[in-house]
């Protein structure tokens, strides 16, 4: 919400609620469009007016005192209702407008989401977008994002989750690699192959596979894998697989074109990789009673454009 709409004391209280969420003067100032120095000075003025310290400052973090937290608990609901009410009235007339900040994984953002956005901005000229590409799981509320695009098995219950499309994970290799090392006939054989895992967490990398059996039963196999290269980016892993370095487990958006062109060969067609990249692509937003019109327009646009899947 614009600071111009609030009186000085109310504006400083609003700043305190934003600081409570972001835990950072830098992030709070960025969220409100003011300088970090101004944000710090205004909190100091609010503390003088209140007569008690409201914020504990250190070189690494910002935390509220007991009095500061009590004050935030009292007023933040009112500010949320004010902001929702103002946004609702503004959305009643004219074109959807405003800034929408979006977080997306690097490879997905580069290959899928980014190319769709020019068409959206042409269709909605009053909306501005900021797309932040990071494989880090950002805290949407704390860092001021309106929306996150994510592969996930189970979206958090505290968030509104829109399904954008179904997705698929492929086990793939280049023909040159298969000519040198053979083609695995069962997931367990991957333990003897040069595999190229997606780099996440620590410890032994394992790939899980599942296949349907008669009478609705399923067989599941978990295989330890390893090889000469790991990366936390599916584009880099695709290039390594195309270079014949080994077998890769890739999301559909990273390998669909190479599969269509025959540059990569799908492996173990009777087995489905499970539990790795997720089987759906979601747009996520922290729960709120009302979704800003600009955000809803972006979600609807992405759902329409991705109806055929990210690998289409």
Is the full-model pTM beyond 0.75? no
Please answer whether residues 298 and 120 qualify as being in contact, where contact means their C-beta atoms are separated by less than 8 angstroms. Answer: yes
What is the overall mean pLDDT for the chain?
87
> What size, in residues, is the chain?
312
- Please determine, for residue 1, whether its predicted confidence score (pLDDT) is greater than 60: no
- Give CA–CA dist 102/127, Å, rounded: 13
Q: What is the pLDDT of residue 135?
A: 84
Q: Is the pLDDT of residue 151 over 60?
A: yes
The β-bridge partners of 55 are 64
Alpha-carbon distances of 172 from 86, 151, 244, 249, 259, rounded to whole Å: 51, 20, 11, 6, 9
For 47-87, what is each residue's pLDDT tens digit? 888 888 888 877 677 888 888 888 888 888 787 777 766 66
Question: Is the model's pLDDT at 311 over the cut of 70?
Answer: no
Q: Which residues, in sequence order, are CB contacts of 307 under 8 Å at separation 6+?
A: 165
Question: Of 239, 231, 230, 267, whose CA–CA distance to 111 is shortest?
Answer: 239
More confident residue, 188 or 62: 188
CB within 8 Å of 298: residues ≥ 6 apart: 100, 102, 120, 127, 129, 147, 283
Q: Are 62 and 19 in contact (CB under 8 A)?
A: yes
Tokens of residue 227, six digits: 């090889």
d(CA 16, CA 202): 38
Strand order in the sheet with 247-251: 195-196, 247-251, 169-173, 265-266
Tell me what pLDDT residue 237 has.
Answer: 96
Task: Find all residues with CB under 8 Å of 13, minimum gap 6, and list them.
Answer: 46, 71, 75, 79
Q: Looking at per-residue confidence, does 282 or 140 come out higher? A: 282
**Residue 117 clears pLDDT 80, i.e. is over it:** yes
Instruction: Give CA torsion, residues 22, 27, 32, 33, to 10 deg.
Output: 180
- Taking only the tens place, the pLDDT of each residue in 256-304 is 999 999 999 999 999 999 888 888 899 999 887 778 899 999 999 999 9
Most confident of 146-155, 175-184, 209-218: 175-184
Q: Identify whether the C-beta of residue 172 lies closer than 8 Å to the C-beta of residue 255.
A: yes
The answer to whether the CB of 168 falls within 8 A of the CB of 294 is no
DSSP 231: B
Residue 65's SS3 state is coil
């Amino acid at each position: 919400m614009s600071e111009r709409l609030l009186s000085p004391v109310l504006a400083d209280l609003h700043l305190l609620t934003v600081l409570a969420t972001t835990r950072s003067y830098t992030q709070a100032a960025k969220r409100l469009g003011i300088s970090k120095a101004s944000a710090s000075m205004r909190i100091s003025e609010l503390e003088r007016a209140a007569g008690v310290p409201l914020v504990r400052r250190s070189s690494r973090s910002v935390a509220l005192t007991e009095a500061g937290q009590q004050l935030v608990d009292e007023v933040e609901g009112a500010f949320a209702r004010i902001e929702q009410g103002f946004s609702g009235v503004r959305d009643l007339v004219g074109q959807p407008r405003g800034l929408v900040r979006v977080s997306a994984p690097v490879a997905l953002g580069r290959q899928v989401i980014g190319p769709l956005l020019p068409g959206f901005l042409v269709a909605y000229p009053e909306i501005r977008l900021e797309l932040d590409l990071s494989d880090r799981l950002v805290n949407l509320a704390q860092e001021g994002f309106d929306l996150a695009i994510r592969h996930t098995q189970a979206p958090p219950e505290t968030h509104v989750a829109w399904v954008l499309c179904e997705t698929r994970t492929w086990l793939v290799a280049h023909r040159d690699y298969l000519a040198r090392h053979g083609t695995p006939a069962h997931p367990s054989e991957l333990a003897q192959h040069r595999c190229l895992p997606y780099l996440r967490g620590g410890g032994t990398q394992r790939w899980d596979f599942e296949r349907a059996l008669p009478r609705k039963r399923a067989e599941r196999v978990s295989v330890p894998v390893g090889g000469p290269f790991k990366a936390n980016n599916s584009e880099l892993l695709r290039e390594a697989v195309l270079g014949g370095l080994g077998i890769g487990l890739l999301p559909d958006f990273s390998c669909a074109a190479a599969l269509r062109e025959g540059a990569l060969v799908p492996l173990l067609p009777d087995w489905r990789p499970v539990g790795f990249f997720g089987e759906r692509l979601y747009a996520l937003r922290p729960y709120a009673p009302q979704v800003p019109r600009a955000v809803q327009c972006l979600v609807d646009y992405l759902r329409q454009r991705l109806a055929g899947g990210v690998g289409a």
